[in-house]
Amino acid sequence: MMRAMGARARQAAGPLSRATAKAKKRALEVSASRVLAEASSILRANALDLAEARGDKLSPAMIDRLMLDQKRIESIAKGLRDVAALPDPVGEVMSEWTRPNGMRIARVRVPLGVVGVIYESRPNVTADAAALCLMAGNPVILRGGSESLHSNRTLYDCLVEGLRDAGLPEAAIQLVPTRDRAAVGEILTMVEFIDVVVPRGGRSLVERVQRESRVPVFAHLEGICHTYIHAAADKDMARKVTMNAKMRRTGVCGATETLLCDRVVAETHLPQILDDLARAGCELRGDTTAQSIDKRVVPASEQDWRTEYLDAILSVRVVDGLDQAIEHINTYGSHHTDCIVTADARAAERFLAEVDSAIVLHNASTQFADGGEFGFGAEIGISTGRLHARGPVGVEQLTTYKYLVRGTGQVRP
Amino acid sequence: MMRAMGARARQAAGPLSRATAKAKKRALEVSASRVLAEASSILRANALDLAEARGDKLSPAMIDRLMLDQKRIESIAKGLRDVAALPDPVGEVMSEWTRPNGMRIARVRVPLGVVGVIYESRPNVTADAAALCLMAGNPVILRGGSESLHSNRTLYDCLVEGLRDAGLPEAAIQLVPTRDRAAVGEILTMVEFIDVVVPRGGRSLVERVQRESRVPVFAHLEGICHTYIHAAADKDMARKVTMNAKMRRTGVCGATETLLCDRVVAETHLPQILDDLARAGCELRGDTTAQSIDKRVVPASEQDWRTEYLDAILSVRVVDGLDQAIEHINTYGSHHTDCIVTADARAAERFLAEVDSAIVLHNASTQFADGGEFGFGAEIGISTGRLHARGPVGVEQLTTYKYLVRGTGQVRP
């Protein structure tokens, strides 16, 4: 079955790469309307999933991610419309030049190919991933979590109605219709049908995909993000940015996991910040200086600097200036998202240049690590790899390019 | 030993990413001068390689690729200077925008990371690959063919002198100093030290690398390139372009392997073209129509359409128009480089849009598939993959990017 789905996706790639922006936008608009019109049947399907999840004793966090309500359904429809509003990337001339022999060369954006998306629990990924792939002109095979199969099927029906209405190939979006776990293994080895795999879920899923896949992977491993309070940081800004970076949502990949603070401002800046965090329910683990500043700070181990908590826990280290902060981040971080708070422009520019992460911020919360916040409309994930896609994976990152060479009979000497 | 080399390369990555354009250019200029000054010792080392190669009964083609003379040494020095003349890609602002909350986001080009290059026989790859990687700010580990080790070592010494003179880390360019075959296997699995592997050589090398590598690969598999003579092709241009595309050099990846010709012009255009080719010593294998046009055409099998000859052999098929030509190329080709010869602009634009290859040409020879011919200065190979690098891999394709976000204390709502 999986190979037949792969072959259908491959076959749809040509027609879909030539689909007009108008048709793709129409498909997404119609899908969004169908999602709103079918809200009650989507909620019924979701109730089935939830009942099974409770029977299977899934964790409350899993059940929360799985759960849909009217508000979440509206946000799924809005997501589809947001992607429909993006410019069509396909056909964009990225650069163009003329050679001394008169040949004109253009580098033009084209679809990447067939995308396989393997994800867990959240049913909104079904719509988000399908919309981004469609806009980029890529057929997609969706393999959602088995716990969300009823919800995903109902959402998927809305997507297919959009494709039909716009006259696009139905194989542009396919959902693996079973819970068979072997399907994942097949997706990871169908190199002749699938060009890239995007795993979206917990660390164990991503690691399995990276280990087993023969197809290239856009992987998001983890976000060990830092906020660094530099000697020249404004005290109030440091307080506000740190609180948001850690506590706005603790379970997102852009949440700060380690706070670094320059020794010269530790006595002035840290007490209020650590008090804010502790009062908000954040566990604090720090080095001896941090412990001496706030009695609620427990000792941090070497392992803490390497840990993505995804929870209300923060590790705190006092450093001896910019060099040590950069060294700490490049050594212990995950090259995802890191921030410096400072009023010193030169220090900021050095931090931006020397921290080797996908996203480096000056005076802004690490929680901005998000395709939507970057203006990409939506994202299919955040890549911690260096090749092809780095950082938020939006429509543009789901394309590649080709060279069009226009001559007048040139031959090579 | 390989792991120690990997660790040194990784350590050099930070300093090298911050190297100035001036230092990188100086290193390459000095290396080029050293190559010219050391010509006689390079030729002596090459003579040792050649003597061993003859003793080992390597093929004449291999020995030709291995052989250096004064002219080839000059071309190696020129290659280094050509790369030195390229603009430094590192730090280039690729795009920049401001978010509604006032945050400014810039996408900035940065080095890709540590590159492993695995290649065969040609000693010039030592200099070309090192120069491109250096200019892109990437430490490189070179693993050349064991048959060219003496030549490579002497060239490598010139490169290191350039690094030293410019004050750049010597670990920026490392050459595996032994013939130990296990080194290749180690390069392919050192995921913590190497970010991308570039195999440059015959199909068996590339296939081995693709099969075994745990590190991402920029692979060039094969060039099954087509020249298509459309119904509206100018007869003389078709003749000139086809001859060049097939016979200029038959062993390069951009050489045309299959000629397609519209049925309506087969009688008028093909006789002269096939006669030119046959007289130039090209073996012709064709369908029944091609056979009826020229008696020297022998029957082509299905396998011929899928074969990269890299030799003076051409397969010839007469097609029923543009659709069939595009279908043939997308089915049997290798998505490398394909050309249409036509005076019909609409037919040309459809061909350019619908042929799914890295390079698609209108009225120009497929032999232009080359980084130098594209104006990239040099290339480390031509990628037939779709991710990250497609087509000629030059300095720009050896970079990635990061996002720099400049705020004024923004937090995420």
What pLDDT is recorded for position A265? 98
Please tell me the predicted confidence (pLDDT) of residue A304. Answer: 98
A99 touches chain B (CB under 8 A): yes
- b/e string for B17-48 if b means 16 or more Cβ within 10 A? bebebebbbbbbbbbbbbbbebbeebbebbee
Write the DSSP assignment of A60-127 as a string of letters. Answer: HHHHHHH---HHHHHHHHHHHHHHHTSPP-TT-EEEEEE-TTS-EEEEEEEE---EEEEE-S-THHHH
pLDDT on residue A214: 87
Q: State whether B359 and A17 contact (CB < 8 Å).
A: no
Same domain, A118 and A239: no
User: Domain for residue B6, yes or no?
Assistant: yes
Residue B412 lies in a domain: no
Determine the distance in angstroms separating the CA of A8 from the nearest CA of chain B, rounded to an integer.
Answer: 15
Q: Which of residues 392-411 of B touch A (CB under 8 A)?
A: 400-411
Rounded CA gap, A127 and A141, in Å? 12
Q: Does B306 touch chain A (CB under 8 A)?
A: no
Q: Examine the pLDDT at A242 and tell me if it is beyond 80.
A: yes
Q: What are phi and psi of A132, to 5 degrees?
A: -65, -45
pLDDT of B306 reads: 96
Alpha-carbon span A238 to A247, nearest angstrom: 14
pLDDT band at A61, cuts 50/70/90?
confident
Residue A93: Cβ-neighbour burial (10 angstroms; 0-12, 13-18, 19+) = exposed
Chain A residues in contact with B357 by the CB 8 A cut-off are: 402
The verdict on ipTM greater than 0.90 is: yes
Question: Which of A 64-93 lie inside 8 A of B, CB atoms?
Answer: none
- 8 Å CB contact of A388 and B388: yes
pLDDT-flagged residues of chain B (< 50): none
In this prediction, residue B59 carries a pLDDT of: 86
| Co-location of A131 and A238 in the same domain | no
| CATH classification of the domain holding A339 | 3.40.309.10
Establish if B388 touches chain A: CB-CB under 8 angstroms: yes
> How many residues appear in chain A?
413
Binary contact (A375, B404; C-beta < 8 A):
no
Does A204 contact chain B (CB < 8 Å)? no
Sign of the torsion formed by the C-alpha atoms of A176, A217, A20 and B342: negative
> How many Cβ pairs within 8 Å bridge chains A and B?
177
User: Are B232 and B134 in the same domain?
Assistant: no
Please indicate, yes or no, if residue A264 is contained in any of the structural domains: yes
A245: nearest CA in chain B?
Answer: B411
Neighbour order of strands in the sheet with B115-119: B173-175, B140-143, B115-119, B196-200
Quick: pLDDT tens for B361-391: 999 999 999 998 998 878 888 998 899 999 9
**Residue A291: per-residue pLDDT:** 98
Q: Flag whether A410 is in a domain.
A: no
* Chain-chain contact of A364 with B216 (C-beta, under 8 angstroms): no
Q: What is the mean pLDDT of residues A276-290?
A: 98
**Chain B residues with beta carbon closer than 8 angstroms to that of A388:** 387-388
Q: What pLDDT score was predicted for residue B409? A: 98
Instruction: List the beta bridge partners of residue B399.
Output: B111
Q: Enumerate residues 125 to 184 of chain B having a beta carbon within 8 A of any beta carbon in chain A.
A: none
B135 and B231 both lie in a single domain: no
Same domain, A130 and A20: yes
Residue B288 is predicted with a pLDDT of 97
Strand partners, A364: B410
DSSP designation for B88:
P
- Residue ranges making up the domain that contains B263: 225-373
Q: A255-270 as b/e, with b when 16 or more CB fall inside 10 Å?
A: bbbbbbbbeebbeebb
3-state secondary structure of A312: coil
**Can you give the pLDDT at residue A398?**
96
From A195, A243, A409, residue closest to B363, measured CB to CB: A409
Q: Which amino acid is at A356?
A: D
Task: Tell me how far apart the alpha carbons of residues B360 and A108 are, in angstroms, rounded to a whole number.
Answer: 11
Is residue A304 within 8 A of residue A320, CB to CB? The reply is: no
Do B128 and B258 reside in the same domain of the chain?
no
Q: Nearest Cα to B52, choosing from B121, B118, B119? A: B121
Q: Is residue B388 part of a domain?
A: no
Non-local CB neighbours of B253 within 8 Å, separated by 6+ positions: B220, B222, B223, B225, B308, B336, B337, B369, B382
Put residue B50 in one of left, alpha, beta given phi > 0 → left and psi -120 to 50 → alpha. alpha
pLDDT mean over A158-182: 95
Residue A1 has pLDDT above 90, yes or no: no
> What number is the average pLDDT over the span A45-61?
92
Closest partner residue to B387 among A367, A400, A402, by Cβ? A400
Give chain B's domain count: 2
Chain B CB contacts of A364 under 8 Å are 103, 405-411
Say if residue A100 is in the same domain as residue A242. no
- pLDDT in the model for residue A336: 96
- Whether residues B367 and A402 touch (CB distance < 8 A) is answered with no
Identify the band that residue A211 occupies on the pLDDT scale cut at 50, 70 and 90.
Answer: confident
Across the range A219-227, mean pLDDT stands at 89
A94, closest residue in chain B (CA to CA): B94
Judgement on whether residues A210 and A95 belong to the same structural domain of the protein:
yes
Q: Does some domain include residue B387?
A: no
Q: Closest residue of A to B95, CA-based? A: A94
Q: Which residues contact B271 (CB under 8 A, 6 or more apart)?
A: B293, B294
Dist CA B336 CA B341 (whole Å):
17
Q: Given a cut of 80, is residue A221 above it in pLDDT?
A: no
Distance CA A121, CA A52 (A): 13
Asked if residue B413 belongs to a domain, the reply is no
Q: Of the ranges A110-114, A399-403, B210-214, which one carries the lowest mean pLDDT score?
A: B210-214
Touching check for A7 and chain B: CB below 8 Å? no
What local confidence, expressed as pLDDT, does residue A394 receive? 93
| Residue B319 β-bridge partners | B262
- What CA–CA distance (Å, rounded) separates A399 from A397? 5
Place of tokens 């100018």: B234
Mutate to test the interface with A, among B86, B109, B406 (most CBs of A within 10 A): B406
Lowest mean pLDDT among A129-138, A349-358, B208-217: B208-217
A196 touches chain B (CB under 8 A): yes
Grouping H, G, I as helix, E, B as strand and the rest as coil, residue A189 is coil
What integer pLDDT is reported at residue B207 of this predicted model?
87
**Are A232 and A347 within one domain?**
yes
Residue B244: which of A361, A400, A411 has the nearest Cβ?
A: A411
Nearest to A112 among B386, B391, B409 (CB): B386
Reduced to 3 states (helix: H, G, I; strand: E, B; else coil), residue B412 is: coil
Give the model's pLDDT for residue B210: 86
Whether A21 is in a domain gets the answer yes
Which band of pLDDT confidence, cut at 50, 70 and 90, is reported for residue A4?
very high
CB-nearest partner of B112 from A358, A386, A403 = A386
Residues 6+ apart with CB under 8 A from B158: B31, B34, B35, B38, B127
One domain, residues A65 and A186: yes
Mutation target for A interface from B405, B406, B408, B410: give the one with most A CBs within 10 A. Answer: B405
* Across A227-244, average pLDDT: 98
- How far is it, in rounded angstroms, from Cα B279 to Cα A326? 67
Contact A411/B18, CB-based, under 8 Å? no
> Residue B381's pLDDT is what?
87
From chain B, pick out residues whose CB is under 8 angstroms from the CB of A241. 409, 411
- Residue A190 sits in the same domain as residue A274: no
Per the listing, tokens 């396909």 go with A90
CATH number, domain with residue A171? 3.40.605.10
* CA B17 – CA B9 distance, rounded (Å): 12
Domain shared by B203 and B318, yes or no:
no
